[in-house]
């Protein structure tokens, strides 16, 4: 949660007249930028200029100023300039948000709002704090938590936190689909034809035996052929892989802790009508 006690006097200390003036303004809150003699403590972050978001990640705007109690030296509200596009605004608009609803994230310089929805922030009144301003806006923001005195009765409201769960889409992984080439040995039987030369000797008989002949060297060339295997390879599409996505719904349980106010009634020397009634019933 944003630290509440985060102010200290600057190097130029306030004069006694300044303290007297602050005491007279005990019911008034001021913008820190209007108080030249106060600064944010060194060990606390100055969130002015930080981005403001709701718990579900919706951007609200930017912290423009800190609304402080000069006497108590505490930050009471964050004056936030609303994002004009996110709230569909025609002009600049600032609202005051209690620091109890704010948590800071130093890493990304962000202020997160707990228990306040986008619509609730849009319904807040215009911030009216400034030099000499009254606490009208403060009561408008926190009026639901103050005691109301009316016609001899005191109404004390009880406040509790409500948990609102939002959703946002986040990447949780990826599926990578690719291809690679493998070499496979293939064996296939193929029938081929070959020519073979056969040489036979046989005796000459009959009239051929008496024919005249002469001695001479001679040779005969007989070509021999056979079929050769010609291997040709070409790529052929065999199948295809179709990749798609589908959205499925599941139920998850969200648990958290919320704060609730409880009434504590302590009676010291006071007996009301209910006590008398119970006492009379017990006597019977």
Distance (Å, rounded) from C-alpha 70 to C-alpha 129? 13
Q: Which of 108, 113, 84 is nearest to 97 (CA)?
A: 113
Distance (Å, rounded) from C-alpha 4 to C-alpha 99? 7
CATH at 78: 3.90.50.10
In-domain check, residue 44 = yes
Considering Cα of 205, then 208, then 213, then 218, what sign does the dihedral take? negative
In-domain check, residue 208 = no
pTM score over 0.75: no
* pLDDT for res 272: 64
Q: Which residues of the chain have pLDDT under 70?
A: 1-27, 130-152, 208-210, 270-284
In-domain check, residue 198 = no
User: What's the burial of 186, exposed, middle or buried (CB within 10 Å: 0-12/13-18/19+)?
Assistant: exposed
DSSP 127: P
In-domain check, residue 62 = yes
Count structural domains, the chain.
1
* pLDDT for res 191: 92
In-domain check, residue 182 = no
In-domain check, residue 116 = yes
* pLDDT for res 169: 82
Token digits for 9?
A: 């006097």
In-domain check, residue 269 = no
* pLDDT for res 94: 92
Tell me the Cα Rg of the chain.
48
Give pLDDT tens digits for 21-31: 433 433 578 88
Query: What number of H helices and E strands is found in the chain?
Result: 4, 11
* pLDDT for res 157: 79
- Structural domain including 18 reads 7-136
């Amino acid at each position: 949660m944003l630290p509440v006690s985060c102010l200290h006097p600057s190097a130029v200390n306030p004069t006694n007249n300044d303290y007297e003036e602050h005491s007279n303004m005990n019911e008034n809150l001021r913008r820190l930028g209007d108080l030249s003699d106060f600064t944010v403590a060194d060990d606390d972050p100055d969130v002015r200029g930080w981005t403001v978001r709701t718990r579900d990640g919706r951007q609200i705007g930017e912290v423009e100023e800190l609304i402080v109690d000069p006497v108590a030296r505490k930050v009471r509200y964050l004056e936030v300039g609303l994002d004009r596009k996110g709230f569909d605004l025609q002009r600049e608009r600032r609202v005051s948000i209690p620091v109890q609803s704010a948590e800071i994230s130093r890493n990304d310089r962000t202020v997160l709002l707990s228990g306040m929805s986008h619509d609730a922030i849009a319904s807040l009144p215009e911030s009216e704090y400034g030099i000499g301003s009254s606490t009208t806006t403060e009561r408008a923001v926190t009026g639901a938590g103050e005691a109301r005195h009316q016609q001899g009765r005191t109404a004390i409201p009880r406040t509790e936190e409500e948990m609102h769960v939002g959703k946002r889409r986040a990447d949780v992984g990826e599926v990578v689909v690719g291809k690679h080439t493998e070499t496979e040995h293939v064996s296939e039987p193929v029938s081929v034809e070959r020519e073979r030369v056969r040489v036979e000797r046989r005796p000459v008989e009959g009239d051929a035996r008496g024919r005249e002949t002469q001695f001479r060297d001679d040779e005969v060339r007989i070509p021999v052929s056979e079929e050769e295997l010609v291997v040709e390879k070409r790529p052929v599409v065999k199948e295809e892989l179709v990749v798609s996505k589908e959205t499925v719904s599941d139920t998850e349980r969200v648990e958290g802790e919320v704060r609730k106010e409880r009434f504590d009634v302590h009676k010291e020397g006071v007996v009301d009508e209910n006590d008398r009634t119970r006492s009379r019933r017990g006597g019977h």
